[in-house]
Structure 1
Amino acid sequence: MQVDRPEPQVYLAQALSSPQLPEELKPFYQAFERFHTNKLWYQLTRSIEAFFAVPASASFRIDLYDNFIKDFANKLDQLKLASIAVSVARTYSDGNLAVSFLDTLLPSLDTPETREAYVLVRMERGHFKLLLGETVDAKEAMDACEKLLDQLDSVDLAVHGSFYRVSGDYWKAKAEFADYYKNSLLYLACIDVEKDLTAEERVSRANDLGISALLGTIYNFGELLMHPILDSLVGTEREVIRNLLFAFNSGDIPKFQALVPEMAEKEPFLQQHFAFLREKICLLALIEAVFKRPTSDRVLPFSIISSEAQVPVDEVEHLVMKALALKLIRGTLDQVSSSATISWVQPRVLDRPQIDALRARLDEWTDKVSAQGEYARAQAPELFVQA
């Protein structure tokens, strides 16, 4: 059943004369009238976007869309229209109504020319489905939109951001830590963290990323450590997450043990996975022990590994085999000599102290090469005679 709508000019005139319309919003309605009358669709779109950016406009967005924007929706840039529609959907207090609203747009956007707009609306629809607990629909949207995005040569950052954000929320609901971590970092790469996230959202996002890094099968989270969002945890009750991340990244078992009481008090969810965390930091301590040694000193007796990783000697072999299975290292075990020969360590992003240590090793290597060169020159000066 089609609902009769007033003519756009009539609707705007009625809205301007309404006592419910705040004074700060009246200039927007006047601009809407001027741009619509002159068919200046680009300027009208910009005015609508500016209107939606004003918090006081929240209670007027649905009405404006239904009685004004819908009348000329096909004349607007469809990606801009999709973005406006998403903002409208977020003003619904009922998730089912938001889904129904977005459903009205999808058929008209399902064309080769409007794929980006379709993905944006489909993924935001998936967001509301997640809020309603309907994860199957959200997963279907993710799979369908991923295929569409793969077919596009270029994609607006807002579209990619929506895809990664909703995908991350889905994996969070499924407690798949590694997938959440990956998608959330990609989402942050698509937005301006300071402008697009509130202070509370930054803390929540950093906390979730930290927990996923600690509990997921992720052994290289240097990228997160260098991301400015992690600084939002400083001075909050969740700062322990940040401190744990730095301890794990450097395989610092004493620091981890010192943080355990605070972790148990403030992050009981992590405490429930203490056994996994303990094994993980032992693995990272092993990696750090190998990494900080020169390549000429990569044969590690079990006693050294036991000391560095703080595990009993009879558990060292299991620890090394675990690291080999996770492809964190490559090498061989010698049970006869009770040693491990490590030929390769998984590449990772280094923090500043690790970079400083690497620089010191490079300086030492340079000095050795220079010394060898001077020795060779002294032993056979004729080889260095310049023509």
Structure 2
Amino acid sequence: MSHSASNMDVDVEFDVPKYLSEERQKAPSHLQQYFSTFEDLYERKLWHQLTQHILEFFKQPESGPFQVSIYQQFVAEWENKINRLSLVTIALQAASQFKDAQASVDFLQHIITKVDTPESKDVYVLAVMEAAHFQLVLGQADQVKKVIDSSEKILDGFDSVETAISASFYRVSAEYFKSQADYVQYYKNALLFLACVNLDSMPTAERMERAYDLAMAALLGDSIYNFGELLMHPVLDSLTNTEHDWLRTLLFTFNNGDIGKFEALGPHFSKQPLLQQNSAALNQKICLMSLIEAVFRRSGDNRVIPFGEIASETRLPIDEVEHLVMKALSINLLKGSIDQVDQLVVVTWVQPRVLDKTQIDGMRRKLEDWNNQVKKISTFVGQQGGEVFAQ
């Protein structure tokens, strides 16, 4: 891979300056000073500073055509002197320059071997996960799943890892689960990825795509009934005033269990075949969300609900209410019991949820009401108790 490896009697001190000089002449004028700096730092053996300048150079948009050559002809000469995370970061940037995904995988194999040591297992995860990204492009889904599973075990052994490593793991995992139409796992991993990155540095188109995919996963995931985390995430704002704005509105509609609004948004479903194909599941989901919201809005001492009220809230025939409540109990959205004789549902617990701003305001009003009740009782006791309660 490097000159020193292929021809041991080459004078490296002579060879490297010659290579850098030739590359400098090919580079755009505003990038040429980097090559002079590379040569100076290399000759002075200032490996940390040299690494930082390579990383900085690789961030320049026009450095792309030089990256593979610089890695193979120059960085490979002193790669043992480089911090392992920086080495992989440089190599990953170069790997993305290949037109062919298989060439990227082949290029990364050398790096994977370099960092497959007990001291750099976390960085090894970064390298294999990024290689898995290219394997996914090649359709090697089974191989990618093995990499995800083994990487997860390695990361579980660490108390903490660099954010870049976590971000890579969650991003590629999300890509895999998206390819498998596993909405629940995609939703989980995509949100964890977003927690690891700075949204402001993400291109607008990518932000929109992620928001769209997350919205679809939230709607179609068969065990996702709490959208709060996504609704409060700024990524969702990237759908505002776009052709997918209705999808954002639909998420809030589901979270509020608003069946009327859900039916009003129905015509938009034709824009997305997946929603049309899953209309029965979506109908059941909005009814369940409506049930949860109805319970949530009630005070803790008012959780005995007649079938008739549930039928009214969910717009279901009364003979379908019991089936809906049994479904909610079976998937742990609620805990409680059904009184079939008197047609009552006794709710003892509701699944905790992340609240949107409207729901938080509702909670505030409840607390205010409770506070007012306490004040009234306090005043009454004070009046009735006379001097016993005198302050």
Under TM normalisation by the shorter chain, which class is it? over 0.9
Query: What is residue 317 of structure 1 aligned with on the other side?
Result: 322
Q: Does 1:229 align with 2:235?
A: yes
Query: What is residue 356 of structure 2 aligned with on the other side?
Result: 351
Query: What is residue 105 of structure 2 aligned with on the other side?
Result: 99
CA shift, 1:377, in A, is 2.2
Query: What is residue 328 of structure 1 aligned with on the other side?
Result: 333
Structure 1: distance between partners of 2:142 and 2:236: 32
Query: What is residue 120 of structure 1 aligned with on the other side?
Result: 126
Query: What is residue 55 of structure 1 aligned with on the other side?
Result: 61
2:290 to 285, 291, 311: 285
Counterpart secondary structure, 1:92: coil
Unaligned runs of at least 5 residues, structure 2? none
CA shift, 1:17, in A, is 2.8
Deviates more, 1:141-150 or 1:76-85: 141-150
Counterpart secondary structure, 2:355: coil
Per-residue CA deviations over 1:231-290 (Å, capped at 9, x if unaligned) read 0011211112211110001111111111111222x2222121111111001000000001
Per-residue CA deviations over 1:113-150 (Å, capped at 9, x if unaligned) read 11222111010011111111101111111111111111
Query: What is residue 159 of structure 1 aligned with on the other side?
Result: 165
Counterpart secondary structure, 1:85: helix
Query: What is residue 129 of structure 1 aligned with on the other side?
Result: 135
CA shift, 1:3, in A, is 4.9
Amino acid aligned to 1:72: W
Query: What is residue 342 of structure 2 aligned with on the other side?
Result: 337
CA shift, 1:336, in A, is 0.6
CA shift, 1:378, in A, is 2.2
1:248 to 246, 249, 254: 254
1:367 to 346, 352, 372: 372
Structure 2: distance between partners of 1:33 and 1:146: 40
1:377 to 369, 373, 382: 382
Query: What is residue 263 of structure 1 aligned with on the other side?
Result: 269
Q: Is the 8 A contact 1:119 1:145 kept in 2?
A: yes
Amino acid aligned to 2:348: S
Q: Is the 8 A contact 2:304 2:347 kept in 1?
A: yes
1:173 to 179, 182, 187: 179
Q: Is the 8 A contact 2:306 2:344 kept in 1?
A: yes
Amino acid aligned to 1:330: K
Amino acid aligned to 2:351: Q
Amino acid aligned to 2:264: A
Structure 2: distance between partners of 1:82 and 1:153: 21
1:205 to 199, 207, 210: 210
Per-residue CA deviations over 1:291-323 (Å, capped at 9, x if unaligned) read 111122211111100010111111000000000
Structure 2: distance between partners of 1:124 and 1:236: 32
Query: What is residue 11 of structure 1 aligned with on the other side?
Result: 19
Structure 1: distance between partners of 2:124 and 2:100: 22
Q: Is the 8 A contact 1:160 1:190 kept in 2?
A: yes
Amino acid aligned to 1:294: S
Structure 2: distance between partners of 1:263 and 1:3: 61
Q: Is the 8 A contact 1:222 1:249 kept in 2?
A: yes
What is the total number of aligned residue pairs between the two structures? Answer: 382
Aligned pairs for 1:16-55 (under 5 A) are: 16-18=24-26, 21-55=27-61
Structure 2: distance between partners of 1:236 and 1:280: 26
Counterpart secondary structure, 1:327: coil
CA shift, 1:47, in A, is 1.1
Q: Is the 8 A contact 2:171 2:189 kept in 1?
A: yes
Amino acid aligned to 1:168: A
2:91 to 82, 85, 91: 85
Counterpart secondary structure, 1:297: coil
Structure 1: distance between partners of 2:45 and 2:275: 58
Structure 2: distance between partners of 1:187 and 1:229: 12
- TM-score, normalised to structure 1's length? 0.96
Unaligned runs of at least 5 residues, structure 1? none
CA shift, 1:153, in A, is 2.7
- TM-score, normalised to structure 2's length? 0.95
Structure 2: distance between partners of 1:133 and 1:74: 33
Structure 2: distance between partners of 1:204 and 1:383: 68
Q: Is the 8 A contact 1:240 1:263 kept in 2?
A: no
Per-residue CA deviations over 1:160-214 (Å, capped at 9, x if unaligned) read 000011111111111111111111111011110111x211100000100111111
